[in-house]
Structure 1
Amino acid sequence: MDQILHDLLKTNDPPSNDIIQLIRGILSEPRRQLEVVKADIQRLEEIQANLEATIHRYDPILSPVRRIPPDILSTIFMYCLPMDRNPDMRASECPMLLTRVCSAWRSLALSFPRLWTQIHIPYLHLSTIPPRFLWEDAPIQDDVDFGQSSAPASQLIETLRRRCEGVQEWLTRSGECALKISIYYHTQFSCNRDTYGWSKDSTTSIFLLAAIMPFASRFRELELDSPDNIYSIFETALSSCILTNLEKLKVSLKDPYIKYNNLSLPQNLFGDAPSLRCVSMNRLPDKNINSLRTNTSWRNLTSLSIFFGCTQHQVMILLERCPNLHRAHFRIVDDNASSFAEFANDVILPNLKYLWIIEERISNRPGDDMVYNGLYKYIHAPRLQYLQCRGSRELEPSAASLELFLKRSTQLAQIGWVQM
């Protein structure tokens, strides 16, 4: 019989009735046992599910993160902050995100001052964007007649007022810690200057000033990216403050409409900032640099970068006022032979180690080469280690013009000239 069953397994021949009855008898007991096993498995799966549910319910109580001491957890919170920029106030980004995890984390985050010492503030101004294009999700159009806009700006003003309230609450949480603040004014619209002129009501900027000025004495790093008129408002306010902790100032001015000579800016560029060491500006806000008020902030600077808008005469004045510089970076885009000739004194920079100068010729007046070469003649930097110059071929300093400079810079290890 076993041989018959074995042969049937190898073919598709139909089984006889006797074979069918035999097979049914053979399978009856295994099928009964299989049903028993399935029932046992189902029962065990139900037990497993109940056990897993119990574990899942209570296991979080044993989570290691619950047992992390608050001081260690707060340190971990610090590493959650962006490393390459200041955090903003979005709920999806730390530190605000940490306040939305649980009540314990929220309480710890809100009570940890160091977590709130940095902030990036994106901002708007009525003078730069027409009201009807101020809603967050509104499409930006290139062919818009901004002068026809008649929509009210009340929604913008209310939104910015609330944002400023949030900024003030944020900074209040920082306790007595030093602050790192960056402010960015959006100017993505090319508005008609006559209709939305720069003399527009500065209500929104006053909101922001009211929010941050009570904390001015704790500013450690301040970055402002704005049009000139907004900078003027901030500079006026800061010039009356004692910026005790301010160490680093970065200003990026952007204004496609106003000519520098038409500006009427405050003359105290840095305010009273005894700790200020590093200043970076994309250009000077006023060409009449001689009228800037001299104070101790200039003498304390160790790093100064002016990336656009300097004349050689301005560079020499700045270097003279900053004798303790370690690093200096200037971009010269114009020169005036007569004004530079008036500067006859050597500028002694005993601590200067790194000097970058980018020179661009605007005119081809007789004697320009001599004037440009004279820039190096008056700089005395005995500890200079690195000199990098960039300019056109006709502005390349001659060996004679650099001879005195190189003799004075006995520690110079690297010098480079890059033709533009």
Structure 2
Amino acid sequence: MNPVVTSLLQTNDAASPSDVAAIQRLLKEALGLLPAVEDEFSALAQRRKALQASIHDYETVLAPIRLLSQDILQYIFLLTLPDDRNPGMSSKESPLLVSQVCSTWRQAALTAPCLWSRLHIPIIRRNKAMLPYGGLNLTHLQAITYLQQRQRADGEEGYLKELDDHPSNSEYNRHVRKVNSVMSNRRQMVEQWLKRAGMTDLSISIVEATATFSTSQSSHTCEFGLCLSLSSKEAAPEWTRHGVDIVKILVKYASRLAVLDLGIPPQRAKPILGLSPAKVPRLRSLRLWHPGYQSVASSRHAIVGSPHIRTLRITIPAPIISGARVQWGNLVHLAVTIHTGSWYRDPKPLREFLSACQNLVVLSVVISKARAASSYQNTVVSISSALHVYSSRADSLYLAKQS
């Protein structure tokens, strides 16, 4: 820097006329050089950015994960599956999540049958609900009676137009169409999923889900098969057909079922429950846990007779052996709900029931509506496995074999 400028910067003195002229020349020269320097800086910045992009590309190509063989990649994918449940049909979790990262990962995922051997399937529940109409909350039967009366009074065309124009009904119909679309996609996904599983053992859990829709006034839970807008009767069975089709798909793959959790009512699961032991040769775990099984003897369904079942959860009307298809002596884990019966007056049936289970390691017994806790607690049952009482209440008992 010019020494005159340096000296002036250290004081508040004014520059002399000759110094002013010299400093103005220096300023003009500096302003003239600045654009060239800025252009050079911009070029260097662009070059720096290009180099950084190239470095990133080189590092990406040389990333260690690219060196993994497909079988190791598939094993890593397996570790991303949930441990405590079957994976759902969601793009937010594996295996669908890892199959959407890139074409290489997708190919690896689709060629790993064990990645698709477990599946959780929700099916929309038929829930008895109210149909909003004209500010009224009507049951399905009441709605039919009401609209029949309106039909006689106003003619069919008039009451159907009024029904379609009602805001709540329009929202409801849109929601029904959306649910039908979801269930249709779900049915297709189930079939694709099980095909990808190849010949591996299948672990399937199927449950009921609640479908809801909202209006500006309130939120409703509706039964899509029954509470559907009466002006769209042809659409009523559509989602039900998809649910039935899903059950039929599971029947088609029955020979590969190894673990099956049925959280749907017996009437819906009837095609599965009626499978003979010969049709489910791999089945080793069966859980029937929908409340609907409390009113039927689930131990008498054909599927429970599979000789390879080692884990079983069922409901029986009473602790009885006669008429049951279960191979009690083969069971290792048993969870049983005794719904009704007179065992509390005579503990002998309970002793006979548990004595037939010679190989149990874990036993869980729930007594529904137990009326005599003392009889239950004083009953002594002798079975070959040394089961230790881990918890005991008036209505339940949990035992397990000590290690």
TM over 0.5: yes
Aligned partner of 1:245 in structure 2 is 282
Distance in 2, Cα, partners of 1:268 & 1:65:
50
Aligned partner of 1:388 in structure 2 is 391
Alignment of 1:77-156 (within 5 A): 77-125=77-125, 127-128=126-127, 144-147=137-140, 148=143
Unmatched tracts of structure 2, length 5 or more: 145-168, 213-220, 228-235
Q: 2:268 aligns with which of 221, 230, 238?
A: 230
Aligned partner of 1:275 in structure 2 is 308
Once the two structures are superposed, what CA deviation does each residue of 1:19-70 show, in whole Å capped at 9, x if it has no partner? 3223334555655555544332222223334444555567644443333211
Aligned partner of 2:157 in structure 1 is none
Q: 2:209 aligns with which of 186, 189, 192?
A: 186
Aligned partner of 2:164 in structure 1 is none
- Name the Cα RMSD after superposition: 4.2
Matched residue SS, 1:322? coil
Once the two structures are superposed, what CA deviation does each residue of 1:137-183 show, in whole Å capped at 9, x if it has no partner? xxxxxx95342389887775565344223212211111111111111
Distance in 2, Cα, partners of 1:98 & 1:195:
39
Distance in 2, Cα, partners of 1:299 & 1:23:
107
Distance in 1, Cα, partners of 2:69 & 2:389:
48
Once the two structures are superposed, what CA deviation does each residue of 1:325-367 show, in whole Å capped at 9, x if it has no partner? 11111122345xxxxxxxxxxxxxxxxxxxxxxxxxx36xxxx
Change (3 A) 1:287 1:208: farther
Indicate yes or no: 2:303 matched with 1:293.
no
Indicate yes or no: 2:374 matched with 1:375.
no
Once the two structures are superposed, what CA deviation does each residue of 1:239-267 show, in whole Å capped at 9, x if it has no partner? 46532222222222135xx982xx58682
CA contact (8 A) 1:302 1:327 kept: yes
The amino acid of 1:372's aligned partner reads: Y
TM-score (norm. length: structure 1): 0.66
The range that moved more, 178-187 or 311-320, is 311-320
Aligned partner of 2:46 in structure 1 is 46
Q: 1:168 aligns with which of 166, 191, 196?
A: 191
- What percentage of aligned pairs have identical amino acids? 25
CA contact (8 A) 2:317 2:340 kept: no
Q: How many residues end up aligned between the 2 structures?
A: 342
CA contact (8 A) 1:87 1:118 kept: yes
Unmatched tracts of structure 1, length 5 or more: 134-142, 336-361, 396-411, 415-420
Change (3 A) 1:100 1:391: same
Distance in 1, Cα, partners of 2:277 & 2:184:
24
Distance in 2, Cα, partners of 1:389 & 1:173:
44
Distance in 2, Cα, partners of 1:30 & 1:167:
74
Distance in 1, Cα, partners of 2:185 & 2:36:
68
* Structure with greater contact order relative to length (CA < 8 Å, sep ≥ 6): 2
Once the two structures are superposed, what CA deviation does each residue of 1:201-245 show, in whole Å capped at 9, x if it has no partner? 874443122211122222221112123433445322x34653222
Distance in 2, Cα, partners of 1:20 & 1:26:
10
Alignment of 1:16-55 (within 5 A): 16-27=16-27, 35-54=35-54
Once the two structures are superposed, what CA deviation does each residue of 1:269-303 show, in whole Å capped at 9, x if it has no partner? 6533222111234xx1545855533443x211111
CA contact (8 A) 1:217 1:244 kept: yes
Indicate yes or no: 2:333 matched with 1:303.
yes
Matched residue SS, 2:204? strand
Change (3 A) 1:170 1:320: same
Change (3 A) 1:220 1:413: closer
The amino acid of 1:252's aligned partner reads: W
Distance in 2, Cα, partners of 1:317 & 1:55:
75
Distance in 2, Cα, partners of 1:386 & 1:223:
26
Alignment of 1:210-221 (within 5 A): 210-221=248-259
Matched residue SS, 1:114? helix
CA contact (8 A) 1:232 1:265 kept: no
The alpha-carbon deviation at position 117 of structure 1 amounts to 0.4
Distance in 1, Cα, partners of 2:211 & 2:177:
20
The alpha-carbon deviation at position 185 of structure 1 amounts to 0.9
The structure carrying a bigger helix percent of its residues is 2
The amino acid of 1:277's aligned partner reads: R
The amino acid of 1:323's aligned partner reads: Q
The amino acid of 1:292's aligned partner reads: G
TM-score (norm. length: structure 2): 0.68
Distance in 1, Cα, partners of 2:305 & 2:294:
28
The alpha-carbon deviation at position 98 of structure 1 amounts to 2.7
CA contact (8 A) 2:201 2:257 kept: yes
Distance in 2, Cα, partners of 1:250 & 1:73:
33
Aligned partner of 1:254 in structure 2 is 291
The amino acid of 2:288's aligned partner reads: V
